[in-house]
Amino acid sequence: MFPQYDLIVVGAGHAGCEAAVAAANMGSRVLLATMNMQTIAQMSCNPAMGGVAKGQIVREIDALGGYSAIVTDETRVQFRMLNRSKGPAMWSPRAQSDRMQFAWKWRLMLEANPNIDFWQEMITGLVVKGGQVRGVRTGLGLEIESKAVVLTNGTFLNGIIHIGEKQFGGGRAGERAATGLTEQLLELGFESGRMKTGTPPRVDGRSLNYERMEVQEGDPEGGRFSFTPTRTPEKQIPCHVTYTNAKVHEVLRTGFDRSPMFTGRIRGMGPRYCPSIEDKIDRFAQRDSHQLFVEPEGWDTCEVYVNGFSSSLPEEVQYKALHLIPGFENAKMFRPGYAIEYDFFQPTQLQAWLETKRIKNLFFAGQINGTTGYEEAAAQGLIAGINAHLAIHDQEPFVLKRSDAYIGVLIDDLVNKGTKEPYRMFTSRAEYRILLRQDNADLRLTPLAESIGMQGLEQRMQRVREKEEARDAIMQFTRELSVAPEQINTFLQSKGSAPLKQKVKLHNILSRPHIEMQALCSVLPELNRFLQAYDEECISLATIDLKYSGYIEKERELVEKMNRLERVALPENLEYQKLRGLSAEAREKLLAIRPRTLGQASRISGVSPADISVLLVYLGR
Amino acid sequence: MFADGLEDTIVALATPQPAGSSSGAIAVIRLSGARAIAIAESRFKGKKLSEQPSHSLHFGLVCDASGGVVDEVLVSVFRAPHSYTGEDSVEISCHASPYIIRRVLDLLMESGARMARPGEFSMRAFYHGKMDLARAEAVADLIAARSKAAHELALRQMRGGVSSEISSLREELIHFAGMLELELDFGEEDVEFADRSALRQMLDRVRARIAGLMETFTLGQAIKEGVHTVLAGRPNAGKSTLLNALLQEERAIVSDIPGTTRDTIEEVLDIRGVLFRLMDTAGLREADDRIEALGVERTLQKIATARVLVYVYDQTVLSAEEVLADLQRFARPDLQVLILANKADLLGDSAAVETGSRLAKAGYSHWLSISAHRVEDIKWVSDALYSLVVEDERLLESPMISSLRHLQALRSAETHLAKAEEGLRGNLTSDLIAWELRQTLHHLGEITGEITTDDLLDNIFSNFCIGK
Question: A621 CA to chain B: closest CA distance, Å?
Answer: 6
Pair B101, B108: CB distance under 8 Å: no
Query: Taking CB atoms and an 8 Å cutoff, what residues of chain B touch A292?
Result: 468
Other beta carbons within 10 angstroms of residue B427's beta carbon come to 14
What pLDDT, on the 0 to 100 scale, is given for residue B255? 39
Query: Taking CB atoms and an 8 Å cutoff, what residues of chain A touch B185?
Result: 52-53, 426-428
Is the residue at B345 inside a domain? yes
Residues 419-478 of A with CB under 8 A from B: 426-431, 433-434
Q: Are residues B288 and B175 in the same domain?
A: no
B447, closest residue in chain A (CA to CA): A609
Number of structural domains found in chain B: 3
**Measured at the alpha carbon of residue B178, what is the angle toward residues B176 and B180, in degrees to the nearest 5?**
80
- Asked which of B74, B100, B131 is the last residue of a domain, the reply is B131
Q: Are residues B25 and B79 in the same domain?
A: yes
At B427, which CATH number? 1.20.120.430
Could you give the dihedral angle defined by the CA atoms of residues A516, A517, A519 and A523, in that order, rounded to the nearest 10 degrees? 130
What pLDDT, on the 0 to 100 scale, is given for residue B299? 74
Q: Are residues B144 and B206 in the same domain?
A: yes
Is the residue at B170 inside a domain? yes
Q: Does the pLDDT at position B256 exceed 60?
A: no
Is the residue at B265 inside a domain? yes
Is the residue at B412 inside a domain? yes
Interchain contact, B128 vs A580, CB within 8 Å = yes
Q: Are residues B63 and B95 in the same domain?
A: yes
B262 pLDDT band (50/70/90 cuts)? very low
- Asked which of B77, B107, B131 is the last residue of a domain, the reply is B131
In which domain, by residue range, is B171 found? 139-216+400-449
Q: Are residues B250 and B288 in the same domain?
A: yes
Segment B423-435 shows an average pLDDT of 86
What pLDDT, on the 0 to 100 scale, is given for residue B227? 84
Q: Are residues B36 and B102 in the same domain?
A: yes
Is the residue at B454 inside a domain? no
Q: What are phi and psi of B94, to 5 degrees?
A: -125, 180
Question: A613 CA to chain B: closest CA distance, Å?
Answer: 8
At B348, which CATH number? 3.40.50.300
Query: Taking CB atoms and an 8 Å cutoff, what residues of chain A touch B81?
Result: 580
Least confident segment among B42-56, B229-243, B286-300, B453-467: B453-467
What pLDDT, on the 0 to 100 scale, is given for residue A265? 87
Residues 46-65 of A with CB under 8 A from B: 51-53
Question: B180 CA to chain A: closest CA distance, Å?
Answer: 10
Pair B138, B157: CB distance under 8 Å: yes
Q: Are residues B302 and B363 in the same domain?
A: yes
Q: So what's the ipTM on this one?
A: 0.83
Q: Are residues B250 and B359 in the same domain?
A: yes
The Cα–Cα gap between A426 and B457 comes to: 9
The model's pLDDT over B363-392, given as tens digits with 9 standing for 90+, comes to 888 888 888 888 888 898 999 998 888 876
Q: Are residues B241 and B381 in the same domain?
A: yes
Is the residue at B464 inside a domain? no
What pLDDT, on the 0 to 100 scale, is given for residue A426? 93
Q: What is the DSSP letter of B203?
A: H
Q: Are residues B156 and B121 in the same domain?
A: no
CA distances from A24 to A54, A114, A116, A132 (A): 25, 8, 6, 21
Is the residue at B335 inside a domain? yes
Most B CBs within 10 Å, among A245, A273, A604, A618, to test the B interface: A273
Q: Does the pLDDT at position B258 exceed 60?
A: no
What pLDDT, on the 0 to 100 scale, is given for residue B4? 46
What pLDDT, on the 0 to 100 scale, is given for residue B158? 55
At B122, which CATH number? 3.30.1360.120
Q: Which residue has the higher pLDDT, B348 or A560?
A: A560
Mean pLDDT by 10 residues, chain A (621 residues): 95 98 98 96 95 97 98 97 90 96 98 98 96 96 97 96 94 91 96 95 97 96 94 95 96 94 84 88 89 96 96 96 97 96 96 96 98 97 98 97 96 93 93 94 98 96 97 95 92 89 92 85 93 94 92 89 80 84 82 87 78 74 46
Pair A435, A552: CB distance under 8 Å: yes
Q: What are phi and psi of B238, to 5 degrees?
A: 100, 25
Q: Are residues B124 and B145 in the same domain?
A: no
- Asked which of B89, B105, B131 is the last residue of a domain, the reply is B131
Q: Which of B132, B184, B187 sits opposite A610 (nearest CB)?
A: B132
What pLDDT, on the 0 to 100 scale, is given for residue B297? 73
Is the residue at B5 inside a domain? no
Pair A327, A202: CB distance under 8 Å: no
Interchain contact, B430 vs A617, CB within 8 Å = no
Contacts of A188 (CB under 8 A, 6+ apart): A128, A358, A359
Q: Are residues B310 and B352 in the same domain?
A: yes
What pLDDT, on the 0 to 100 scale, is given for residue B157? 63
What pLDDT, on the 0 to 100 scale, is given for residue A4? 93
